[in-house]
Structure 1
Amino acid sequence: MTPLPHDFASLEARITADYPSLSRRLQQTAKFLLDHPQEVAFATVAQLAQQAGVTPSTLIRFSNSFGFSGFSEMQQLFRARLFDELPNYNERIRAVRTATGETPDSAQLLWEFATANQEALSQLPGRIAPEQLEQALDIFERAKAVHLMGARRSFTVASYMTYALHHIDKPAFLMNGLGGMYDEQLKAVSHEDALLVISFAPYAEESTEVAKQAHARGIPLVVLTDSTLSPLVRLADVALIVHEAEVKGFRGLTASLCLAQTLAIALGVRQDTARA
């Protein structure tokens, strides 16, 4: 069975390879999708069908033919491509406006972000297995100190959890890479400590490298990431997978912060019970 494409590059390669065997209508769809990836990332099925000159059901049939459960699942790969190529928020805003023709007002954006984050939070408990939480807490409880690393967008989560751990009297150190000294900070982590690395697509190179070195040294490693395909997962003793809200190409941190708070407070409860 051919594996499901996991990023835009692999999807593009599959479409290119299968193109000669596709029906005329699906070939028309394939050409439009690959020629207009920015529009595909954000427009609705109805909008894209009209632009491509096909029916909405043809777009759904096209995505199904490549193993996706629906068009929105395939569309996520087009969006991920833009996350990689358009790190600047102004560029993303322009991309959304070009693709959808929309100029949302502040009240509409607030409603959309609030609704999306509520949904991400409601799904979080069902996505994190209780045994995974307990395994991560076991590692943190045994550790003399917890070191935390999150680059770029993930820095907010790592910084907050460092703050929370200090407030439950757990020694915690934020690896901030000041002066580019991630390697030097990692050397301060002993085998009696634990490391939490937080990274989301497109996965900061610094985070992956720190995780690789920690894994090679046998340092207990917990990762918080957004996909089982994340390069961090295979390196971790425990991997916690979080799916964040995404609105018009902008992803939140609500679920990750909630999970970080849960880990810190649950660890505090454990420590308090042990002292009682």
Structure 2
Amino acid sequence: MDKHSVDRLIEERYQSLSPVLQRAARYVMDNPKDMALNSMRTIASSAGLQSSTMHRLARELGFDGYESFRSVYRTWLTEGSSSFSERATALQKRSGSDEAEKLIRELLHADDAHLTQLTTPDTLASIKNASDILGKARRIYVAGLRSLFPAAFYFNYACGMFMHNTRLLMGIAGTFSDDLREGGSEDALLVFTYNPYARDSVSAVEFARQQGMRIVSVTDSTLSPIAKQSHALVIVPNRTPSLFPSVVPAMSIAQILVAMLVARGGKKSLQEIKKSEAQLQRFAVYVE
């Protein structure tokens, strides 16, 4: 169970809790970092409660005890929702030679687990839905800012080999959203965004939706600010001990969507790919 699941569980159970457990639950919701960093005695004291109250709340929510309850918040803090400086500090504490191999394994195992999770029936259906929307679009606008720019760039670059209706929202000289003025109901916006969500990405989705465009979102949670506005929503796991959330799942989705568009492209796509290859050879782009 992750923090988002616990938050939802507390919200669902809140009215049925006793007044003292409601106080404890409210403190937990308002102070997740304290939950991750402090003992049960310290948390209870800060909340003005007895230690046993925190244990009772954990049991009420289905945990074996306070420590298993607290571990949810520890994972949340170290793997995804802490500040960059906090994550960097945690990494530096593992700089010793005896920690290096363990950290490498954790990073690789995390991404292996991420990719495995993308094969669930719901995610596969979401990817297919995204492919259908993009395949039918007159124009495809592509957005991905900061650490997720590589996913957006790859999609736009790869599609340029066999189709000519994608536009990457670059943001050069502050023009990030300018191309969206031309968007309409026959067009789609593909956006990649993780927590912390880039303001321009969220604004682009809101504007595109107002323009009647179809929204394909690749994001990290159903609680993402773009989730409810999406016509196709692909949720990707991204928790990792690294400095940033993992970009591997988003890159994988970008590659998959390109492959699916090629697969449905027919002879026209093949002809365009041959033309692109000829042009690359003409300019000797690659070393023989």
TM-score of the pair, normalised by structure 2: 0.69
> Match for 1:156 among 150, 154, 157?
150
How is 1:40-189 mapped onto 2 (pairs within 5 angstroms)?
Answer: 40=36, 62-63=57-58, 65=60, 71=69, 72-78=71-77, 82-83=81-82, 86=83, 88=84, 90-95=85-90, 102-104=94-96, 105-126=99-120, 128-189=122-183
Query: Does the 8 Å contact 1:145/1:193 carry over to 2?
Result: yes
Other structure's SS at 2:118 match: helix
Q: 2: distance between equivalents of 1:33 and 1:138? A: 39
Cα–Cα, structure 1 residues 130 and 80, in superposed 2: closer, same or farther, change >3 Å? closer
Cα–Cα, structure 1 residues 66 and 190, in superposed 2: closer, same or farther, change >3 Å? same
Q: 2: distance between equivalents of 1:273 and 1:132? A: 26
Other structure's SS at 1:114 match: helix
Q: 2: distance between equivalents of 1:36 and 1:137? A: 38
Deviation at 1:103, TM superposition (A): 3.7
Other structure's SS at 2:125 match: helix
> Match for 2:249 among 246, 249, 255?
255
Other structure's SS at 2:151 match: helix
> Match for 1:37 among 25, 29, 33?
33
Q: 2: distance between equivalents of 1:253 and 1:61? A: 39
2:193 alignment partner in structure 1? 199
Cα–Cα, structure 1 residues 92 and 165, in superposed 2: closer, same or farther, change >3 Å? same
Q: 1: distance between equivalents of 2:31 and 2:124? A: 44
Identity of matched residues, %: 25
Report the aligned-residue RMSD: 4.0
Cα–Cα, structure 1 residues 59 and 271, in superposed 2: closer, same or farther, change >3 Å? farther
Cα–Cα, structure 1 residues 62 and 206, in superposed 2: closer, same or farther, change >3 Å? same
Q: 2: distance between equivalents of 1:131 and 1:33? A: 33
1:243 alignment partner in structure 2? 237
Say whether residues 1:264 and 2:262 are aligned partners.
Answer: no
Deviation at 1:232, TM superposition (A): 0.7
Q: 1: distance between equivalents of 2:242 and 2:59? A: 24
1:44 alignment partner in structure 2? none
Q: 1: distance between equivalents of 2:104 and 2:227? A: 33
Residues 63-72 or 114-123, more deviating: 63-72
- Corresponding pairs, count: 248
Other structure's SS at 1:223 match: strand
Cα–Cα, structure 1 residues 60 and 203, in superposed 2: closer, same or farther, change >3 Å? farther
Cα–Cα, structure 1 residues 67 and 272, in superposed 2: closer, same or farther, change >3 Å? farther
2:286 alignment partner in structure 1? none
In the TM superposition, what whole-angstrom CA distance separates every residue of 1:210-259 from its partner, at most 9, and x where no partner exists?
10111111111111111111111111111111112412664211111111
Cα–Cα, structure 1 residues 73 and 37, in superposed 2: closer, same or farther, change >3 Å? closer
**5+ long unaligned stretches in structure 1:** 42-46
